[in-house]
Structure 1
Amino acid sequence: MLTSITLIIIPFILSYSLTHSQTLPPPLFNNQLGEWALMQPSIGISAMHMQLLHNDKVIMFDRTDFGQSNLPLSFGRCRMDPNDTALKIDCSAHSALYDVHTNTFRPLMVQTDTWCSSGSVLPNGTLIQTGGYNDGERRVRAFTPCFGEYCDWIELSDALSQRRWYATNQILPDGTLIIIGGRRQFNYEFYPKTSENSLSFVSLNFLGETSDPSENNLYPFVHLLPDGNLFIFANTRSVLFDYKQNHVVKEFPRIPGGDPRNYPSSGSSVLLPLEDDFGFVEAQVIVCGGAPRGSFESATKGNFMRALHTCGRIKVTDSNPNWVMENMPMARAMGDMLILPNGDVVIINGVGEGTAGWERGREPVLTPVIYRPKENDASLRFSVMAPASRARLYHSSAVLLRDGRVLVGGSNPHVFYNFTGVEYPTELSLEAFSPPYLSPVFDLVRPTIRFITSGVLGYRVFSYVTFTVASYESVSDVSVRILAPSFTTHSYGMNQRMVVLKLNGVTRVSREVYYATVVGPSTAEIAPPGYYMLFLVHKDVPSSGLWVQVM
């Protein structure tokens, strides 16, 4: 049954830094390079971990044993840790909350070390952040979005059964989290514990089998598939895993080339957009970049091997799936992959030589690449974008904002905060990359969402999305999508997923005003409960998004 609640959406005012004066051609985005803008010259910390919350604030943090940051804690607070090797009394922050609307930030206080940790957002919008280093390795930290000045991290002692350092989190259809792996942790556990998942942890032999001396199964790539099973990729191998029965359903072919893709090789991966037509839903995974086997040890000796330039794409729902290999325009390790509102994928940040780890990366890759998975001609799928001015190497990160920009921060390839005397200084700035679809040349076909029948998107429930667009031709040019924002760290965006909703038609209301009739996700396996950004896309150009809660 349809609800009667109406939300009015006020479009964002986008920030542009126009550096190209040439006239841009019409769609599809040919020869367009996007734009970069500096948002903050310094937020005082290095954004090693980032998560967009449903109040349009981005929570960021690095680690507590870097020493003093450039962001003082508020209200005269200090963190006291007699075991800290850098600073036993630290009155500086190692976490910040960035407000997208106002382009401002404030310090947050994290008590225990969050270095190389993981996270997921619960269905109610609370960020659950898990693990870390030393005193943080078994901690769970919670941050609930609010609009006041006093909300902050809440920490739970020893909430995890095992130390979780370099682990991966995935939200499940029932709204709980599965936390997989970590350094020398060949197992998984759930949070919160329920009667169905009460065991402290469950062994996962696959992680032990894929571990090697370089420990290239850290931060395994994990994607929830439409059948409810998990796709888990570690090193060069991947499996279809039934976490309820602790059973490997099948193993997929090894990715060609024999080179590892997980940390510290640090490729990246996304689950490509799911087309939810209330029938069989095809699922494809793509894995891009990384470093050749032996790169970590080689870089230790000062020999920086060329990064990988290949991507592997596999239809995991095929009866006999195989990897299809494609070549990126340039080699890249430590690149972040994010799904854009129109279903394209941006690959941003990283290096062309070396690998992850302290001082082990060289030749920063400043140019983002956009990959168009729906393009039939493989030679046209990749487009090289405008270069950034700042290197983003080890411990950089990126998240998609609901106005369609990509927020980029971080880069600290050193043991401590080093701003001088090093080849790549610690980076405290925030930048925003505006993909080509944000160019004013597309204003005639750019839709603007005006209303939606409810801020809650029910499973299999009809909703109406009213939008305006100046130049409309056909319903075939329109799609409505929901996108779960990622918890991004160490070149991997956990939990991000896009679902293209079933469209039951577009009706013209008046001049330039239309409404699209869409149906909520068919199952929680396709779209787990929680907050998503909803976008309407017209002729491959997305609207600004609005938050909806799937439940």
Structure 2
Amino acid sequence: MHMQLLNDDRVLIFDRTDFGPSNVSLPNGLCRKNPHDLTLKTDCTAHSVEYDSISNTFRPLNVLTDTWCSSGATLPNGTLVQTGGYNDGERVVRTFQPSCGVCDWVELPNKLLIRRWYATNHILPDGRIIVIGGRRAFNYEFYPKITRSTSQLYKLPFLAQTNVHNVENNLYPFVFLHVDGNLFIFANNRAILLNYVKNVVVRTYPTIPGGDPRSYPSSGSAVLLPLKDLELGLNVEAEVLICGGAPLGSYLKAHSRQFLPALNTCARIKINDPNPTWAIETMPMARVMSDMVILPNEDILLINGAGSGSAGWELGRDPVLSPVIYRPNSVFESRFELLNQSQVPRMYHSSAILLRDGRILVGGSNPHKFNNFTNVLYPTELSLEAFSPPYLDPSKIKLRPIIVTPASSSKIHYGKLLEVKFIITEFIDLDSIKVTLISPPFNTHSFSMSQRLLVLTNTTAAMRMDSGRFQVNVRTPGSINIAPPAFYMLFVVHQSVPSVGIWVQLM
């Protein structure tokens, strides 16, 4: 249900705690005793693991309170802050420290001002995390609560206005940090720009053509497209892409076993244009509950999902097995590429994240109220898969750069020149060389929170140093609004083929 890549290449994976026993035992006879649990008062199995993506091993973790449909974001130091959930977890903040080896979840009760179930988190330029919305939560708050202003609840009427037809469609709102420091917030079928410091809506965007909902439970997915020309500051073009979803009424009809076809369109808008409008594109197929992952070469991967129905228990049908690549820099109506089918349906409560080696880790799928492995249309899925985008085709291995410097885990600073040295076995086009930064997001329910890619500006043309060795000088982002302080994966891309990334800390 939830996944987060940490800056030690480990992935935190977790699900709700009250489904009954899992298939992984807690170590050393440890058991979770919880009188509030809806299924087991004493549970000796794990509902969270730390997966090592390098060694392909995992370690059971002990989460005590219910994380069902919760949210998260990482602090500038790499610590995951995970918020809310259900039942005894609805006001809990949980933290997890990377690079510890033996660390487990730290759970902090009553650190949220109200219950947060289906909320969205985003890292802010000052290092705080904002927690927005949730079921019957038309407001937002901050974490950590270190000042009077961060200890208050702030009303957000927009979330109540988008809660229509008793279906909501305003849960897990799509939230992106704009380059001007405000927050773009999309719910149902429309969006605003929020100055969260003054609690003022500074801009209202037009409704998506057609008016169909795109956020949970209609569950399209969204990304902030790669940011380029970073030296332009406030004039950096910021563009949001929202794909798929379910037509108005789909959620209610699915409860009576009428599964409407999902939406087959994407909507794209330049959010800092003087007069922004949505541009509509048609996907190769309809999708609801899919995930959108930004790849290191600026392409967007659409993966997972269903062809009809809605998010929710037993409400999805027609699994979509074919991933799709969307190339935002290509000509309109020629941006989609259909890829080979997978074999495993991944629908409700599945997840997907980018790994540092360029693969996509895909896991989960449970469209049932409890874990059901037999005698159901779509069994609960416990497997993990690694999806390899086209740039990992063996025929392209010689095109793939190998980063020499900077060293992994280097600290980099704002607005500075960065010398990047790399090796390419088969050099083709130095003009195609670019350096990208990607923030690893928190993924759940078809949305990757705080997902962001930045294309660093080349200050010099890439040049050959000696046989097989090359160098390019780039400038790091100049503003915390463009790139909040955090750990990022840095990639060198050649002919649309990315290197294995390295971790850098922007500070």
Q: TM-score, normalised by structure 2?
A: 0.98
For 1:137 and 1:76, the matched residues in 2 are separated by: 27
Which deviations, in whole Å up to 9, do the C-alpha atoms of 1:363-420 show, x marking residues without a partner? 00011111000002x2320011111111101100000001000000010111111101
Within 5 A, what are the aligned runs for 1:11-30? Answer: none
For 1:128 and 1:486, the matched residues in 2 are separated by: 12
Q: 1:248 aligns with which of 172, 187, 201?
A: 201
Q: CA deviation at 1:532?
A: 0.4
Q: CA deviation at 1:344?
A: 0.3
Tell me the equivalent position of 1:17.
none
For 1:492 and 1:473, the matched residues in 2 are separated by: 36
Tell me the equivalent position of 1:101.
54
Contact preservation (8 Å) 1:266, 1:355: yes
Structure 1 window deviating more from structure 2 (451-460 vs 539-548): it is 451-460
Q: 1:398 aligns with which of 352, 367, 373?
A: 352
Tell me the equivalent position of 1:8.
none
Contact preservation (8 Å) 2:36, 2:87: no
For 2:450 and 2:303, the matched residues in 1 are separated by: 18
Tell me the equivalent position of 2:26.
73
Contact preservation (8 Å) 1:276, 1:499: no
The alignment partner of 2:160 has SS state of helix
Tell me the equivalent position of 2:469.
513
Contact preservation (8 Å) 2:438, 2:489: yes
The alignment partner of 2:181 has SS state of coil
Which deviations, in whole Å up to 9, do the C-alpha atoms of 1:90-116 show, x marking residues without a partner? 000100111011111111000000000
For 1:318 and 1:197, the matched residues in 2 are separated by: 31
Which deviations, in whole Å up to 9, do the C-alpha atoms of 1:177-200 show, x marking residues without a partner? 000000000000000123363342
Within 5 A, what are the aligned runs for 1:162-311? Answer: 162-195=114-147, 197-212=149-164, 213-279=166-232, 280-311=235-266
Residues 356 and 63 from structure 1, CA distance in 2 versus in 1: closer, same or farther, beyond 3 angstroms? same
Q: CA deviation at 1:546?
A: 0.4
Does residue 546 in structure 1 map to residue 499 in structure 2? no
Tell me the equivalent position of 1:120.
73
Contact preservation (8 Å) 1:168, 1:179: yes
Contact preservation (8 Å) 2:144, 2:150: no
Tell me the equivalent position of 1:483.
438
Contact preservation (8 Å) 1:49, 1:61: yes
Tell me the equivalent position of 1:458.
413
Does residue 469 in structure 1 map to residue 421 in structure 2? no
Contact preservation (8 Å) 1:307, 1:353: yes
Q: Which one-letter code corresponds to 2:134 in the other structure? A: G
Contact preservation (8 Å) 1:180, 1:188: yes
For 1:103 and 1:127, the matched residues in 2 are separated by: 21
Q: Which one-letter code corresponds to 1:357 in the other structure? A: G
Q: Which one-letter code corresponds to 2:118 in the other structure? A: Y
For 2:449 and 2:147, the matched residues in 1 are separated by: 26
Q: Which one-letter code corresponds to 2:261 in the other structure? A: R
Q: Which runs of 5+ in 2 are unaligned?
A: none
The alignment partner of 1:278 has SS state of helix
Tell me the equivalent position of 1:62.
15
Tell me the equivalent position of 1:154.
106
For 1:199 and 1:175, the matched residues in 2 are separated by: 15
Contact preservation (8 Å) 2:429, 2:494: no
Q: Which one-letter code corresponds to 2:136 in the other structure? A: R
Higher normalized contact order (CA 8 Å, seq sep 6+, divided by chain length): 1
Tell me the equivalent position of 1:439.
393
Does residue 356 in structure 1 map to residue 308 in structure 2? no
Give the count of matched residue pairs: 502
Contact preservation (8 Å) 1:128, 1:142: yes
Which deviations, in whole Å up to 9, do the C-alpha atoms of 1:195-228 show, x marking residues without a partner? 3633421000111111111010000000001100
The runs of 4+ residues in structure 1 deviating greater than 6 Å are none
For 1:423 and 1:534, the matched residues in 2 are separated by: 42
Contact preservation (8 Å) 1:269, 1:287: yes
For 2:374 and 2:497, the matched residues in 1 are separated by: 42
For 1:270 and 1:219, the matched residues in 2 are separated by: 13
RMSD of aligned residue pairs (Cα, Å): 1.1
The alignment partner of 1:407 has SS state of strand
For 1:308 and 1:271, the matched residues in 2 are separated by: 20
Which deviations, in whole Å up to 9, do the C-alpha atoms of 1:460-504 show, x marking residues without a partner? 111111101133354421110100011000000000100111111
Tell me the equivalent position of 1:424.
378
The alignment partner of 1:274 has SS state of coil
Q: CA deviation at 1:441?
A: 1.2
The alignment partner of 2:185 has SS state of strand
Q: CA deviation at 1:147?
A: 4.7
Contact preservation (8 Å) 1:65, 1:87: yes
For 1:476 and 1:185, the matched residues in 2 are separated by: 49
Q: Which one-letter code corresponds to 2:383 in the other structure? A: S
For 1:365 and 1:75, the matched residues in 2 are separated by: 41
Does residue 499 in structure 1 map to residue 449 in structure 2? no
Q: 2:63 aligns with which of 99, 104, 110?
A: 110
Tell me the equivalent position of 1:346.
301
The alignment partner of 1:379 has SS state of coil
Q: Which one-letter code corresponds to 1:121 in the other structure? A: T
Tell me the equivalent position of 1:144.
97
Q: TM-score, normalised by structure 1?
A: 0.90
Structure 1 window deviating more from structure 2 (420-429 vs 75-84): it is 75-84
For 1:199 and 1:406, the matched residues in 2 are separated by: 37
Tell me the equivalent position of 1:384.
338
Contact preservation (8 Å) 2:143, 2:150: no
For 1:452 and 1:514, the matched residues in 2 are separated by: 13
The alignment partner of 2:149 has SS state of coil
Contact preservation (8 Å) 1:276, 1:522: no
The alignment partner of 1:261 has SS state of coil
Q: Which one-letter code corresponds to 1:413 in the other structure? A: P
Q: CA deviation at 1:450?
A: 1.4
